[in-house]
Amino acid sequence: MAIFVSKYDHCLWEMLLRHRAGELPCNIEHIISNHDDLRPVADTFGVPYSVFPVTKETKSDQEQKQVQLLTEKNIDLVVLARYMQVLSPHFCNSYPNRIINIHHSFLPAFMGASPYHRAHERGVKLIGATAHYATVDLDEGPIIEQDITRVSHRDDVKDLVRKGRTLEKNVLVSAVKAHLEDRILVHKNKCIVFGE
Spatial neighbors of 21 by CB under 8 A, at least 6 apart, are: none
Give catalytic residue positions.
139
Contact 178, 139 (CB under 8 A): no
Note whether 167 and 129 are within 8 A (CB).
yes
Contacts of 55 (CB under 8 A, 6+ apart): none
Residue 147 CB-density burial (10 A; 0-12 exposed, 13-18 middle, 19+ buried): middle
Residue 87: partners with Cβ closer than 8 Å, 6 or more residues away: 63, 80, 99, 134
Check residue 73 and report its DSSP letter.
T
**Helix, strand or coil for residue 49?**
strand
Residues in the chain: 196
d(CA 52, CA 70): 13
